[in-house]
Structure 1
Amino acid sequence: MPFEHLSPVLADALAARGYEALTPVQLQVTEAEAKGRDLLVSAQTGSGKTVAFGLAMADELIEDGRLPFATSPLALIVAPTRELALQVSRELGWLYARAGARIATCVGGMDASKERRALNQGVQIVVGTPGRLRDHLERGALDLAALRVAVLDEADEMLDMGFRDDLEEILDATPETRRTLLFSATIPKPIVQLAKRYQRDALRISTVGEDRGHGDIAYQAVTVAPADIEGAVVNLLRLHDAETAMLFCATRDNVRRLHASLVERGFAAVALSGEHSQNERNQALQALRDRRAKVCVATDVAARGIDLPTLSLVIHVEIPRDAEALQHRSGRTGRAGKKGTAVIIVPYPRRRRVDGMLRGARINAEWMDAPTAADVRQKDQERLIEKLLAPVEHEPEDLALAQRLMAERTPEDIAASLVRAHRALMPPPEDLLDNGPRGRDATGRPERGERFERPERGGDRREGFEDAVWFRLNIGRHQNADPRWILPLLCRRGHVSKNEIGAIRIGPKETMFNIPRAIADRFAEAVVRTANQDGEDDSGVAITPAPDGPTWPPRRDKGSGDRAPRSTLGRAPGGERSGPRGPRGPAGPGGNERYKPKPYGQRSPRRPAK
């Protein structure tokens, strides 16, 4: 019997649930070495941690096959989010059902008075979020004097969310004789410090292998132009056609915007973020479980604790803040031995950062270009042919209808109508502005010949650009800068057309371009409005004035790529003077008025006092 070392009531519950064997983390926490000891456990998301700590605390709770009557809780489980706490409560409910356990759930967004009544009636196990548990503790509704086991689930996430003070107040109210179990996907330094303070001789258990990435998850890094991110999301959803997909954004505003865009395109999508009530979140999750929705757009925190068995695709629409966040997000798929796919959408300027993040997480991702509309249509054809050629038993009514159609139309007409009807059910794919560099060298980097062509020494000779103003981008060849995606970005940020953008000169770490002086002020104001507080857009690209213009050829800066090139004041784009030099300040008679850009929130360095 695979569960002979467990309590009979728990073994029966596992067998009835369909368990044939324990997962590695469940097996290690129930071994003889772990019994009665504090545990510091790191295990991958989806590895069965909830059942693991349910089994680990059984020795302190079960007496003669049942949980004893208690006027105050014997076990306390703290989780970072409502969804995770509710999921833990459901899992412990079936695991301890045969032992007669009474479980109370205390989470934000629920009726606090009902929770207090449940606590007063006597429960053995309490599951809750830090804020609500602290509130009940301070009001005297939660008595932890008789607590035997305290469990912190997803402890690293709780510290990241700022719950340290709440956790410390809750743990300080428990007896020193309690047993403390810390479960987390990662064990950063703050978790180690918390363990030293509240645990005694803790047993360290780790089921995370040398390859920190989930073995059941295939990672893909898709490079796109910053203006193509939303189109790439649409094409990825259409290409994979996952039964359930989850899209991660960094803010609730971006969740709202992307969700509205997908619904408008025809996707069955729901949204999860901090602005949604508990009732709305429950309805969204139920729609995903009932297959009424296939796509969930969420923030990191809102997706905590969500367990969807059919989730097979995770798309990081915005790059995670670090390797741990990448793993937590991706861990929503590839659970319980099932295969999953995690796709990171990488704007060209952010490729180096993502490359370093993947190396730090020891994740081997496949780098590829975003799928085109042609790729999606080809995949649609393959799926349709496979579906139609699959063996199936037809009903007599269907055969009669088929014979009627054959009598009135040719087989080609019927097949074409069937294909058209099938295609009409799906959102159309997007035509991307750019699909990445056309060639790469032996190291996998984009070929420089595809990136930059030396202009003639006369600069941009088009009509209207004889008098132009130069601007600078904080990206260059090292960040895979390419005119094919820089041009759409400038049009979007500056609210201009591509015909109003002059020469584009790409250097190693910066890019220079010019705009006709007549529209330079309007372009500069639009750039400020479309930037964030740091003067950048969502992909980290900053546009700043460059009144000195570029030098040619571009020199290799020893320091930052944002430093201005050698001064060429008073020179036209090709290098010739545009008029005779006057005294200091604006150009003299016959010269052009120098463009004085508006400040971009960055102060000029002060001159040292003489």
Structure 2
Amino acid sequence: MKESYLTTFSELGLAEPILKALAEANHSTPTPIQAQAVPLVLAGHDLIGIAQTGTGKTAAFALPILNHLVTERRRPERRACRALVLSPTRELSGQILESFRLYGKHVRPSTALAIGGVPLGRQARSIAGGIDVLVATPGRLVDLMENGAVRLDQVEVFVLDEADQMLDMGFIHAIRSIVAKLPAKRRNLFFSATMPREIEKLADALLTDPVRVAVTPVAKTADKIAQKVFLTDRAGKPDLLVEVLGHEGLDRALVFSRTKHGADRIVKGLSAAGIESEAIHGNKSQPQRERALAAFRDGKVKVLVATDIAARGIDVPGVSHVINYDLPNVPESYVHRIGRTARAGAEGIAISFCDGEERAFLRDIERLIRLTIPSEDRRGESRRSEPREGFSDRGPREARGGRPSNSPRAPREGDRSARPFARGPRPEYRGEASGEVRAAGPRPDGARHERPRHEGPRPERARTEGARPEGGRVNEQRGPRTSFRPR
């Protein structure tokens, strides 16, 4: 921001063990949010910190919490924690905990992580003896509370990180139930990238006479990101994505899908095009998510496909491109998405695909960022009459026009292809097993089915367990119906 904020950590009033850890991590100059927030928190104020992603918000609350643990040492009580940090996602929670361990290297606080995808009992045991810092997602913390594994009546500092995303993800009721268990006397730190009216109301309810710190990075994230929109149709997106990912200037790309199933389809389509990628979303187990993120961070995989929820906490240096395969229907999510690139002063590229149904989303985004994003019309340029295999919203089966062999399972719930799939086999089934009157007498040679036919309308379908077409399988006539039963 201003030169006056370009100070050193030693001037912020932090304890010596913390300064030593910062020096060993080669951190000497605080970011604007850190330079303003840390002294205020050290002075005992409640705080609202508004800053874009990638500006060092985690250290802005981790450093003063560690300083509090150094200056007011005491042993935490059983099943209690002295500092509680809530964040919206597993990945972000893990990174926050790593920051506490990095900056607290010489403080050695006892810490624990409470997130989904990990056995509840293991996390309960990690808290049982009492800890200094607990980092948690709201849902898992509520689970631990309901099981009597954690008590919050000893919390001295409460942090709500990424508050706007918490609201978008529907955590408001969980947050209120958690806050109800906190002691009245505590310090509250509230961080968010945006400040819509709903967040203002939440802050008023949780904080006591807070100090507001709203900063912009030294160079605005938007100034460091080259943004562009390709106006296309839905069928043109797969080819367009392959074209963009083939650009020679691409180092690492983060591709955003609006849905979990859409992310999986993108990965499958890229694989068919010879591009290796990984997906990270809520249906993946925690080990799968960690492996995918590690492969992306290490450069073994250059394309990571993610949903908005899973992408919170992805802080990977060197993300050169953010690609919005689907535009978000919440305009604030666009700010969070493109903030994954151009981190730590680097430059980045944000490319968005916008089909006809997403034009309203684009208008909302431009209204929020107060910027008209340069666009290029790429409609009608797809060279394929059918979408690339794996990318189709209808799924690869319908895109190929037939039913694959050895594939009895139905489309997953939420896949838009589910209903067309379910209707497909029924006319054929009814034609073979309906109440149609068939002529009596021997069937012609070479007939596929040897099942005897009734001379009149069939009664309600009788299940002939022993009937078997020659060379066929038992109950072949019932196959299509069971094949498309939702799981």
TM-score normalised by L of structure 2: 0.73
Mapped contact 2:331–2:364 kept (Cα < 8 A):
no
Aligned 1:41-60 pairs, distance under 5 A: 41-60=49-68
The residue number in structure 1 matching 2:240 is: 232
The residue number in structure 2 matching 1:307 is: 315
| Percent of pairs with identical residues | 34
The residue number in structure 2 matching 1:30 is: 38
Taking the aligned partners of 1:216 and 1:185, their CA distance within structure 2 comes to 17
Aligned 1:513-592 pairs, distance under 5 A: none
The residue number in structure 1 matching 2:300 is: 292
The residue number in structure 2 matching 1:179 is: 187
Taking the aligned partners of 1:269 and 1:279, their CA distance within structure 2 comes to 17
From 207, 218, 223, give the equivalent of 2:215. 207
SS in 2 for 1:276: coil
**1:8 to partner: Cα distance:** 1.4
Mapped contact 1:255–1:297 kept (Cα < 8 A):
yes
Alignment of 1:20 with 2:39, yes or no, is no
SS in 2 for 1:336: helix
Taking the aligned partners of 1:182 and 1:336, their CA distance within structure 2 comes to 22
From 71, 95, 108, give the equivalent of 1:100. 108
- 1:75–1:269 Cα change, 3 Å: same
**Which whole-Å deviations, capped at 9, do the CAs of 1:367-401 have from their partners, x for residues lacking one?**
2355xxxxxxxxxxxxxxxxxxxxxxxxxxxxxxx
SS in 2 for 1:74: strand
Alignment of 1:68 with 2:74, yes or no, is yes
Mapped contact 1:216–1:337 kept (Cα < 8 A):
yes
The residue number in structure 2 matching 1:265 is: 273
Matched letter for residue 68 of structure 2: E
**Which whole-Å deviations, capped at 9, do the CAs of 1:17-45 have from their partners, x for residues lacking one?**
11120011111112358721111111111
Mapped contact 1:34–1:203 kept (Cα < 8 A):
no
Aligned 1:237-386 pairs, distance under 5 A: 237-347=245-355, 350-351=358-359, 353-369=361-377
Matched letter for residue 86 of structure 1: G
Mapped contact 1:83–1:306 kept (Cα < 8 A):
yes
Structure 2: tracts of 5 or more residues without a match:
1-6, 395-414, 419-487
- 1:488–1:135 Cα change, 3 Å: closer
Taking the aligned partners of 1:131 and 1:349, their CA distance within structure 2 comes to 33
**Which whole-Å deviations, capped at 9, do the CAs of 1:446-494 have from their partners, x for residues lacking one?**
xxxxxxxxxxxxxxxxxxxxxxxxxxxxxxxxxxxxxx99x999xx999
**1:226 to partner: Cα distance:** 3.1
Aligned 1:359-508 pairs, distance under 5 A: 359-369=367-377, 433-434=380-381
Mapped contact 1:25–1:48 kept (Cα < 8 A):
yes
**Which whole-Å deviations, capped at 9, do the CAs of 1:144-200 have from their partners, x for residues lacking one?**
222110001111111211111111111111111110111111111221111111110
- 1:20–1:103 Cα change, 3 Å: same
**1:355 to partner: Cα distance:** 4.0
Matched letter for residue 318 of structure 2: T
- 1:315–1:362 Cα change, 3 Å: same
The residue number in structure 1 matching 2:225 is: 217
* Larger deviation, residues 317-326 vs 207-216: 207-216
Taking the aligned partners of 2:129 and 2:372, their CA distance within structure 1 comes to 52
Taking the aligned partners of 2:393 and 2:217, their CA distance within structure 1 comes to 44
Matched letter for residue 8 of structure 2: P
SS in 1 for 2:381: coil
* Larger deviation, residues 341-350 vs 123-132: 341-350
- 1:112–1:33 Cα change, 3 Å: closer
Structure scoring higher RCO (CA < 8 A, sep ≥ 6) equals: 2
Taking the aligned partners of 2:218 and 2:369, their CA distance within structure 1 comes to 10
Alignment of 1:111 with 2:58, yes or no, is no
**1:211 to partner: Cα distance:** 10
SS in 1 for 2:320: strand
SS in 2 for 1:19: coil
The residue number in structure 1 matching 2:168 is: 160
- 1:282–1:69 Cα change, 3 Å: same
Taking the aligned partners of 2:50 and 2:138, their CA distance within structure 1 comes to 20
Taking the aligned partners of 1:40 and 1:353, their CA distance within structure 2 comes to 29
Taking the aligned partners of 2:235 and 2:128, their CA distance within structure 1 comes to 57
Mapped contact 1:104–1:115 kept (Cα < 8 A):
yes
Mapped contact 1:213–1:361 kept (Cα < 8 A):
no
From 5, 8, 32, give the equivalent of 1:2. 8
RMSD after superposition:
3.0
Matched letter for residue 68 of structure 1: R
- 1:181–1:263 Cα change, 3 Å: same
Matched letter for residue 85 of structure 2: I
Structure 1: tracts of 5 or more residues without a match:
371-431, 436-483, 495-529, 534-610
- 1:70–1:493 Cα change, 3 Å: closer
SS in 2 for 1:92: helix
Taking the aligned partners of 1:272 and 1:74, their CA distance within structure 2 comes to 32
Taking the aligned partners of 2:220 and 2:34, their CA distance within structure 1 comes to 19
Mapped contact 1:319–1:346 kept (Cα < 8 A):
yes
Taking the aligned partners of 1:54 and 1:242, their CA distance within structure 2 comes to 34
The residue number in structure 1 matching 2:476 is: none
Taking the aligned partners of 2:121 and 2:249, their CA distance within structure 1 comes to 44
Matched letter for residue 225 of structure 1: D
Aligned 1:115-134 pairs, distance under 5 A: 115-134=123-142
SS in 2 for 1:345: strand
Q: Which runs of 4+ in 1 moved over 6 A?
A: 209-212, 530-533
- 1:166–1:145 Cα change, 3 Å: same
Mapped contact 2:281–2:306 kept (Cα < 8 A):
yes
Taking the aligned partners of 1:75 and 1:12, their CA distance within structure 2 comes to 22
Mapped contact 2:101–2:108 kept (Cα < 8 A):
no
Taking the aligned partners of 1:70 and 1:82, their CA distance within structure 2 comes to 25
Alignment of 1:139 with 2:143, yes or no, is no
Q: How many residues align?
A: 386
**1:257 to partner: Cα distance:** 0.9
Taking the aligned partners of 1:243 and 1:256, their CA distance within structure 2 comes to 22
Taking the aligned partners of 1:144 and 1:276, their CA distance within structure 2 comes to 30
